[in-house]
Amino acid sequence: MSQEHKDKVLAEAYSKLTELNASFLREIATELKGPNYYLYLRAFSLGLQEYVEAVTFCHYIKVGRLITLEEVNRPLIFDEQAQEAQSDIVAASEPILEKPPATIALAHTP
C-alpha cells in the first residue's frame, strides 16, 4: 500500500469516526445520563466496543503504537448544551449564572 493511499484511507476513517462521535455517540451519552446508563448497558456496549476497536486500529496504523485509555475516553466526554428557556418572561426573571457547562461521558469502562 502506498503512503498516499494509506493517508487517504486514514483520513476517511478519521472523518467517519469524528462524524460518529459528534452525532450518534453524543446522543447516546445524553440519553444515558444518570441511572439509564446501567439500565441500557447491554444494548449499547457492543457498539461501543466496536468503536473502541476501530479507534485503536486507526491509531495504531497512523502512529505505530497502541492508544491509551485516556486517549480513547477523551473524545467520549461531551459538554452538555444548555437548554433554552421556555419563554422570554422566564428568561428575564431568572438570574444569570456564570458557570461552566456540565459534562456528560460515555465511558466504556464502568
In a domain, residue 35? The reply is yes
Residue 103, pLDDT score: 64
Residue 79's domain comprises: 3-105
Highest mean pLDDT among 20-29, 64-73, 83-92, 94-103: 64-73
In a domain, residue 53? The reply is yes
Which of 66 and 39 is assigned the larger pLDDT?
A: 66
Tens of pLDDT, residue by residue over 1-59, are: 788 998 999 999 999 999 999 889 999 988 888 788 888 888 889 999 999 999 999 99
In a domain, residue 59? The reply is yes
In a domain, residue 89? The reply is yes
In a domain, residue 110? The reply is no
Q: What is the mean pLDDT of residues 81-110?
A: 53
In a domain, residue 43? The reply is yes
Total structural domains in the chain? 1
CA distance 38 to 16: 27
Q: What is the CATH number of the domain that holds 95?
A: 1.20.58.190
The answer to whether 27 is annotated as binding is: no
Q: Given a cut of 60, is residue 89 above it in pLDDT?
A: no
Q: Are 58 and 10 contacting, i.e. CB atoms less than 8 angstroms apart?
A: yes
In a domain, residue 33? The reply is yes
pTM over 0.85: no
Residue 72, pLDDT score: 93
Q: Given a cut of 60, is residue 93 above it in pLDDT?
A: no
- Give every CB contact of residue 73 below 8 A, 6+ residues apart in sequence: 105, 107, 108
Residue 15, exposed/middle/buried by CB under 10 A (0-12, 13-18, 19+)? exposed
